[in-house]
Chains A and B, each alone.
Chain A
């Protein structure tokens, strides 16, 4: 009964996703499309949640439904609100899209069934991950163990991806300047409510950061949540004040520092001639070393993500609006 219910929910959510996609193709109001994108991310987060991928769902909700929407609204401010409908679509696109879809369906045909206990992914490496996480790393959240320790090198790469995204945005848009921008109007209710909310958001961010070993969460999600606190402040109290709290010029350095924390943590093990990112070398007790390593690495990720996201937000919102006639 329960299994069937989950399936029904999955199908409903997938149907939602398809509807949202068609709606966002059809609608020419880019503001509405942005909102639909936010909803799309949120529904896919629900889908991930239903598939028991809590960490993924968390990230999707924080980044996709939260930050990306803010970013797209900032970008929308710089351009026009309605799509240029007269723009002709290339006819070549249609067969390519259909072909790609057909190839995907063709490939999926031979997949093992969803939740099939005999599927290769459940037999080959997963048992080892579960066993070794208990034995050698000793933290409850296996996702964090795989992410930060077993495949820590990938996560290091991902952190650098985020850093390079920040650098790319900075190169293209610059930091922007805030003097000539309109500040938001004074609104007492928002001011009063938002102040304690920001405190709550920041505390929650720290909780997610340091609780990642035990529950869903970790550096990526925490960085986004922490940054969203500052973005909220900037939206309600004006960017001038926000830039006084955290100056824009410091953000690229913080982001670089996050990458360095990760990298140097990895290099530490080289001193005792252990491979890169071997946390066992960090402490006399291997398990303690793993704990310390994961903590440091997640801190680096959190710092890099936080500062990069705030940096990208500043870059977008600091642009002057140019009106094209």
Chain B
């Protein structure tokens, strides 16, 4: 048996079966170990897949030995590979980080199930990113969603239950809309395979069924991606969920939804239909712009730092949507780069907050006074993440913002470029508030140097340093992004 040829399916099946093994062993320590090993395997697989993709362009794997339109095919091109890297990379760091954080935050009887659900979320998201079948996307979306709802509800705060319920309702509506969209397309074409659909759709593109399918798919995915008017579930879900969960979700969940959006818009409907024939690019740009400004302004008014970062996520999603809305090559490159870089910065920031919650059991701004002296390493990492979020040169955030502004100027949309700059100032304000409290206010009496577990610090710093690394050496992320864009736009044969 040749392991390499089976990597596309193993990267999904290994974490899924590991989740089952966790329950079977029913032991906290071994559950963590299984999670860690599965994450490392996925990371190893994704690195290998990226290398293979750069050589052969597209990896196709027919599950069950049935050829594509009949069976389900897994299809990995550069875009999928990029998503896999983001997912499995953050999964590894989160797994290292989880050991101590889960011990502290999750009730003992739920810890095994926590790891199980974490693995299921990861496997579900990875499953969405490797498949080439529209209905299969829905199946794995369900796996990840159900586990996500449960994970959010485990938050320390009682409001976590309400947040989870809110997300459950919104998420279920979103999933149903996606299913309706897929069903409509199936009725009109008789196939579920994305590649096959993209060939058969143009014939029936000018029917009300396909237009309705397009609308349902977009709104369904929009809910999952927290596109602006559909974002209400996100701030609460991120703010009240356990630290491990908010870190992983912030780094990955909405990105995967945006991946699905890109996949449907570009690979399935085709750029002509979705972005130009439908006035969808304009809608995306307007929603994106409102999202950037609205999210940033709301973030300024939050007293809970976790909630603040959640609103900031809404704004960052706005950047990505705006970039997609440009419907141009530099626009897509900027969007993909920002997906990658945003995972890095939000991972860093939420992880740092997790460490603060580990010590103070709260992420209110008020507990953070003087924290720069009592938890210097944690706050330094937070600072790096914050600078990256603002877009200071030398950090990952700068690269994606630079590409976005360039893309906007290319399309001679300089007012929107101005919006980006204003949003950067707004980001500076809300990150600055935290920095001010942490470094320039005295620590309360009696609070001295705080000890935090080394494993958590290591994970946090790997995240933080990767912000700087990918800010200085953007070849890797940029290379894969532009390859992905070329494949999406059909430039390379």
Contact = CB atoms under 8 A, between A and B. Distances in A.
Interface string B150-162: 1001100000000
Contacts of B19: 160, 163-164, 256, 259
Interface in A91-129: 103-104, 106-112, 119-126, 128-129
Give the residue among B65, B70, B147 with the most A Cβ atoms within 10 A.
Answer: B65
A257 interface: yes
Given A167-B113, A260-B21, A111 B209 contact: yes
Contacts of B2: 273
Contacts of A274: 65
Interface string A158-191: 1011011101101110100000000000000000
Interface in B174-216: 180, 184, 186-191, 200, 204, 207-213, 215-216
A184 B379 CA distance: 59
A81 interface: no
Contacts of A164: 19, 117, 120, 143, 146-147, 150
Interface in A109-160: 109-112, 119-126, 128-129, 132, 149-154, 156-158, 160
Give the residue among B16, B26, B153 with the most A Cβ atoms within 10 A.
Answer: B16
B139 interface: yes
Contact of A157 (B5, B109, B136): B136
B5 A121 contact: no
B116 interface: yes
Interface in B1-39: 1-2, 5-6, 9-10, 13, 16-17, 19-24, 26
Contacts of B208: 106-107, 109-110
Given A124-B69, A154-B135, A161-B139, A275 B17 contact: no
Interface residues of B, number: 67
A109 B2 CA distance: 50
Contact of B116 (A112, A165, A167): A167
B23 A256 contact: yes
Contacts of B5: 273
B64 A168 contact: no
Contacts of A126: 190
B63 interface: yes
Majority SS at the chain B contact face: helix
A194 interface: no
A125 B190 contact: yes
A277 B64 contact: yes
A174 B150 CA distance: 12
B23 A255 contact: yes
Majority SS at the chain A contact face: helix
A107 B184 contact: yes
Given A124-B69, A154-B139, A157-B136, A171 B154 contact: yes
Given A154-B135, A167-B120, A171-B113, 20 more contacts: A104-B212, A107-B216, A110-B188, A110-B208, A120-B189, A124-B200, A150-B71, A152-B64, A167-B147, A172-B150, A174-B109, A253-B23, A257-B20, A260-B24, A263-B20, A267-B13, A275-B9, A276-B6, A277-B63, A277-B64
14 contacts: A107-B184, A119-B190, A120-B190, A157-B143, A163-B120, A168-B147, A170-B113, A171-B114, A253-B26, A256-B24, A263-B17, A266-B13, A272-B1, A276-B13
Interface of A: 103-104, 106-112, 119-126, 128-129, 132, 149-154, 156-158, 160-161, 163-165, 167-168, 170-172, 174, 252-253, 255-257, 259-260, 263-264, 266-267, 269-280
